[in-house]
Amino acid sequence: MIRLDFAAKNSASRMFVELDCAACSRECKTAGKIKGGMLMAVPFISRKRLNPQKLEAEGKFYPAPAYIAEVGVNQLAEEISQSTTLTPTEVIGVIRGLLLTVPKYMLLGYKVRLDSFGIFKLGLKNKASCKGYEKASLVTANDIEGIKVMYTPDAMLKAKLEKPEYVKLDAKYITDEEENTSNGD
Q: How much is the pLDDT for 16? A: 47
Question: What ranges do the domains of the chain cover?
Answer: 2-180
The answer to whether 139 and 133 have CB atoms below 8 angstroms apart is: yes
- Pairing state between β 42-49 and 60-65: antiparallel
Question: How many whole angstroms separate alpha carbon 43 and alpha carbon 97?
Answer: 32
Determine the Cα–Cα distance for residues 37 and 44; give it in Å rounded to an integer: 18
152 backbone dihedrals φ, ψ, rounded to 5°: -120, 115
CB 112 within 8 A of CB 119: yes
Residues ≥6 apart with Cβ < 8 Å to 81: 87, 88, 90, 91
> What whole-number distance in Å separates Cα of residue 109 and Cα of residue 107?
5
Q: Is the pLDDT of residue 165 over 70?
A: yes
- Rounded to an integer, the average pLDDT of 150-159 is 94
Decide if pLDDT at 6 tops 60: no
Segment 47-102, tens digit of pLDDT: 888 888 888 888 888 999 888 788 899 999 999 999 999 999 999 999 999 999 99
Of 51, 31, 50, which Cα lies nearest the Cα of 41?
31
Tell me, what's the pLDDT at 172? 56
177 pLDDT exceeds 70? Answer: no
Q: What's the average model confidence in pLDDT over 24-53?
A: 64
The CATH number given to 2-180 is 4.10.520.10
Cβ pair 90, 76 in contact under 8 A: no
> 10-14, 90-94, 160-164 — which is least confidently predicted?
10-14
What's the pLDDT at 148? Answer: 96
Q: What is the mean pLDDT of residues 131-150?
A: 93
Full-prediction pTM beyond 0.95?
Answer: no
Choose the most confident range, by mean pLDDT, from 7-11, 79-83, 129-133: 79-83
Burial class (CB in 10 A: 0-12, 13-18, 19+), 77: buried
